[in-house]
């Protein structure tokens, strides 16, 4: 995987208007992906494109459109719509390819390009590598003859279509009437769809982060800045708070006291509820190596398993498909409900939490602590050496740490997929030991 030039763990991402996140690279993506997905038959081929609210979307979108249209693919643009909405509409419009322009929870200065296949799933590594290989071809190669150029059209009601699909996922027997919900849309892609969906299901909605201006996406708001949501919950005396990130594929919740509930607790809440109803498939939940040991123990106590994958919601999704699981996700709030969506969906996940809340009649604060999290410590270490994890000193420090934790915790040391960082994470019942172990390993990586 180290030989990738453009694609990282979640599509292509970088600082907007600097390589590789330039209009030229976007044009090359359109040309390459268009050629790859345009089979030789005579039918028209279709690509759909959504985006979040970043200013730089105005440079990336037209470049992609030009690339796709010039190799003969028809294009439909959606404007601002959540990432999972693009995945859904790729399927429902029977498109050959879906594209989302977003850098998710990063600030407005970044942007990214994510690709979905006709089935609504993120493309596999091998297809991304094929696209990558074709991106460096000459810009004049493989263009369509003038009578076969693609046609481009804007779909004005894309948001309304997503709202209808989202509402279907909320149980028919329930209503949100009488519920006060604060929702923070991060000034991002969900700024219209999330409040509208909740309102149409009967809730009294108090939206924040719904005035995007191109540069305020994720700025002091959204799932990465939960203090804003906690504030709104208290200010509006809400029963629950919901925060999405910039492309609305992840979710953080606040209970009515303003206390934050992370993705692990959300997976436990919905997973155990579905298990009791006989709706859970695969006899367990899929999460990543970052999920808390407390979640694993809680599921085990109910006779369910926690399967772990490497970090990245696409790896969670792959494992879910292999093992027939219908709930998976990440501690950071990417929750994948395979009965309803092919990728993480903050709004869909929120609706499932709301269903449990309404049906139980309990306050959110009672539901929020499904398990006591085990003390967990994460430290990110910047490095300049070539491969710090391969030095003897670091290997020795890791072995020592694992021995110290054995039987009562775990250690995880991994390079970041997006920056020059080594992430050192430990968790265990003894908080002092956990802190010491992380400090020792992080120190060894630094001195390497």
> What angle, rounded to 10 degrees, do the helices at 23-37 and 125-135 form?
120
Q: Which of 194, 169, 170 is nearest to 184 (CA)?
A: 194
Q: Tell whether 245 is in a known binding site.
A: yes
C-alpha span between 427 and 434 (Å, rounded): 6
Residues 6 or more apart from 403 whose CB is under 8 A from it? none
Taking a C-beta distance cutoff of 8 angstroms, is the pair 377, 425 a contact?
yes
**For this structure, is 104 an active site residue?**
yes
Sheet bearing 409-415, strands edge to edge = 376-382, 421-428, 409-415
224 upstream amide cis, omega within 30 of 0: no
C-alpha span between 319 and 143 (Å, rounded): 38
Taking a C-beta distance cutoff of 8 angstroms, is the pair 94, 76 a contact?
no
Instruction: Find the Cα–Cα–Cα–Cα dihedral 310, 292, 265, 111, rounded to 10°.
Output: -40
Q: Tell whether 339 is in a known binding site.
A: no
The residue behind tokens 């009791």 is 276
Residues 6 or more apart from 213 whose CB is under 8 A from it? 187
The residue behind tokens 């979108």 is 61
Q: Tell whether 231 is in a known binding site.
A: no
Residues 6 or more apart from 158 whose CB is under 8 A from it? 50, 78, 79, 81, 85, 89
Taking a C-beta distance cutoff of 8 angstroms, is the pair 180, 188 a contact?
no
DSSP 83-149: HHHHHHHHHHTT-SEEEEE--TTS-TTEEEEEEE-TTSSBPPHHHHHHHHHHHTS-TTTTPPPGGGP
Instruction: Find the Cα–Cα–Cα–Cα dihedral 175, 177, 181, 187, rounded to 10°.
Output: 70
C-alpha span between 226 and 271 (Å, rounded): 23
Q: Tell whether 104 is in a known binding site.
A: yes
Instruction: Find the catalytic residue in 70, 104, 223, 291.
Output: 104
- How much helix, strand and coil, in percent to the nearest 5, is found in the chain? 40, 20, 40
Residues 6 or more apart from 209 whose CB is under 8 A from it? 184, 185, 186, 187, 188, 191, 221, 222, 228, 243
Element (H, E) at 306: strand 305-309
Which residues participate in the annotated binding site for Mg(2+)? 104, 245, 247, 249
Residues in the annotated binding site: 104, 245, 247, 249
Residues noted as catalytic: 104
């Amino acid at each position: 995987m180290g030989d990738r030039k453009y694609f990282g763990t979640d599509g292509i991402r970088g600082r907007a208007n600097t390589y590789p996140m330039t209009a030229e690279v976007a044009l090359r993506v359109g040309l390459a992906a268009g050629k790859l997905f345009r089979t030789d038959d005579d039918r028209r081929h279709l690509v759909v494109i959504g985006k979040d609210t970043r200013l730089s979307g105005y440079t990336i979108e037209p470049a992609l459109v030009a690339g796709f249209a010039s190799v003969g693919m028809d294009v439909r643009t959606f404007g601002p719509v959540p990432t999972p909405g693009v995945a859904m509409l790729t399927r429902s419009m029977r498109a050959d390819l879906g594209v989302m322009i977003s850098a998710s929870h990063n600030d407005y200065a970044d942007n990214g390009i994510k690709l979905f296949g006709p089935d609504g799933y993120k493309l596999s590594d091998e297809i991304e590598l094929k696209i990558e290989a074709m991106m460096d071809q000459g810009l004049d190669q493989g263009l369509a003859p003038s009578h076969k150029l693609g046609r481009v059209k804007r779909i004005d009601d894309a948001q309304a279509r997503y709202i209808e699909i989202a509402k279907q996922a909320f149980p028919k027997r329930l209503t949100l009437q009488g519920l006060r919900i604060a929702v923070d849309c991060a000034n991002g892609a969900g700024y219209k769809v999330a409040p509208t969906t909740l309102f149409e299901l009967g809730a009294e909605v108090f939206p924040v982060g719904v005035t995007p201006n191109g540069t305020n996406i994720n700025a002091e708001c959204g799932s990465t800045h939960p203090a804003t949501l906690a504030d709104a919950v208290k200010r509006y005396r809400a029963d629950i708070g919901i925060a999405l990130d910039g492309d609305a594929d992840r979710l953080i919740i606040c209970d009515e006291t303003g206390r934050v509930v992370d993705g692990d607790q959300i997976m436990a809440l919905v997973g155990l509820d579905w298990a009791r109803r006989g709706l859970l498939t695969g006899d367990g939940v899929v999460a990543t190596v970052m999920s808390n040991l407390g979640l694993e123990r809680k599921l085990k106590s109910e006779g369910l398993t926690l399967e772990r994958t490497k970090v990245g919601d696409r790896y969670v999704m792959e494992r879910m498909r292999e093992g027939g699981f219908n709930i998976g996700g990440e501690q950071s709030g990417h929750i994948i409900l395979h009965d309803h969506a092919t990728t993480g969906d903050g709004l869909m996940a929120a609706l499932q939490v709301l269903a449990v809340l309404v049906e139980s009649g309990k306050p959110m604060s009672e539901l929020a602590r499904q398990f006591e999290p085990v003390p967990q410590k994460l430290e990110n270490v910047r490095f300049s050496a070539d491969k710090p994890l391969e030095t003897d000193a670091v290997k020795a420090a890791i072995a020592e740490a694992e021995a110290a934790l054995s039987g009562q915790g775990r250690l995880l040391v991994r390079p970041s997929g997006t920056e020059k960082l080594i992430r050192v994470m430990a968790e265990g019942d003894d908080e002092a030991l956990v802190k010491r172990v992380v400090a020792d390993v992080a120190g060894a990586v630094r001195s390497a």
